Amino acid sequence: MNRQNTTYKVSKSEINQFYILMDHGLSIPFMIEIVFKDHKEIIRELEKGKSLNDVLFQGKDTYFQNIRLLNEVLSMKDSIECANVLDTNANGNIKKFLKESIYPIFIFFFSFGMVIFFSVYIVPSMQVYASESDSFLLLKLLKLSYEIILIVLILLFMYLFFSRNKVMVIPIVKKFNTLQFSIVLKALLDRGLSTRNCFGIMEKMKHSHSIYIFAHALMHNLEKGVSIDQILKHSIYFDESFSKFVTIGLQNSSLSSMLEIYNEKCKEDIAEFIHRLSIGVQIVSYTSVGFLVVIVYQIMLYPLNMLTSF
């Protein structure tokens, strides 16, 4: 099916509403009519002989890509349910961690903006009173420090963008990527799929770079006869503790339960890391703002001191 030529749109919320009605014994045309905004176009496509899967799941984002992929081995209902779990947990974690990082990032750039503002608009007008003051030198040093930090951050983001595979071995990145992999694996296991089938599906998730890399490496080594626990133990991409949970889960036939425990533990570790990083950024930012207030206060006193000296 050529998805670019469709004249209708299907949203994620409409798919979820359709999923809720699937167990109520209603006919498919009736459910389509009451759920989808573009129901006439959808029914028209079905009358042309196209499958329901092709018609409903033609979206291009990750959610619809996962449903199309899961439809190869699961029923429509299970595919939607599994895709919802992946979207809620995997994407939800990313949004949560980004939300927690917004405030310290804002504080950092706000304090940097204050330094720039006073350096450009306030200090030049005051230098006529005390051009050689230590306060001006401290302000320049503070501005230079922020510029260096900003340059380092830009270079770091460029490195992260152009060196994905190297970045994936950084401990916190390994933990985050392993968490995403574990969430997907658990969701698939809960649908009754075998571990090997789960890896096979995940290997097809090329829209998720880290999951694809992990699953491809696992399948490649499994075909060579290497056991899962040995693959995870010697992999440079997986979080070190992940192999322990998987090994115990495989030995006790409780892999899904062990993955759930790992996921919660991993979320707590990442949240703690972000919290510590946030505190560090806030300390630097608030300290620099404090220095800035003191420096500006001293600068503003120079004209008054000159008047009292006469």
Q: What is the pLDDT of residue 114?
A: 80
Whether the predicted pLDDT of 90 surpasses 70: no
Report if residue 77 sits inside a domain. Answer: no
* Section 43-72 average pLDDT: 88
Residue 3 has pLDDT above 60, yes or no: no
Residues 191-220: what's their mean pLDDT?
88
pTM of the model: 0.75
Is the pLDDT assigned to residue 1 strictly greater than 50? Answer: no
pLDDT over 70 at 310, yes or no = no
Residue 185 — pLDDT band, cuts 50, 70, 90? very high
Answer whether residue 70 is part of any domain.
no
Evaluate whether residue 263 is within a structural domain. yes
Q: Do 297 and 179 lie in a common domain? A: yes
Reply yes or no on whether the pLDDT at 280 is more than 80: yes
Q: 306 or 252: whose pLDDT is higher?
A: 252
| Predicted pLDDT at 276 | 87
- Residues spanned by the domain of 267: 83-310
| Three state DSSP letters for the chain | CCHHHCCCCCCHHHHHHHHHHCCCCCCHHHHHHHHCCCHHHHHHHHHCCCCHHHHHCCCCCHHHHHHHHHCCCCCHHHHHHHHHHHHHHHHHHHHHHHHHHHHHHHHHHHHHHHHHHHHHHHHHHHCCCCCCCHHHHHHHHHHHHHHHHHHHHHHHHHHHHHCHHHHCCCHHHHHHHHHHHHHHHHHHHCCCCCHHHHHHHHHCCCCCHHHHHHHHHHHHHHHCCCCHHHHHHHCCCCCCCHHHHHHHHHHCCCHHHHHHHHHHHHHHHHHHHHHHHHHHHHHHHHHHHHHHHHHHHHHHHHHHHHHHCC
Query: Which of 45, 60, 75 marks a domain boundary?
Result: 60
- Structural domain includes residue 185: yes
- Same domain as 121, residue 11: no
Q: Do 24 and 154 have their domain in common?
A: no
Identify the domain boundary among 60, 91, 108: 60
In the chain, how many domains are there? 2
The verdict on 8 and 121 lying in the same domain is no
- Residues 112-163 have pLDDT tens digits of 888 788 777 776 666 655 555 566 677 778 788 888 888 888 888 887 777 7
State the average pLDDT for the chain.
82
Q: What is residue 304's predicted lDDT score, i.e. its pLDDT?
A: 63
Q: Same domain, yes or no, for 20 and 137?
A: no
Does 127 lie in the same domain as 51?
no
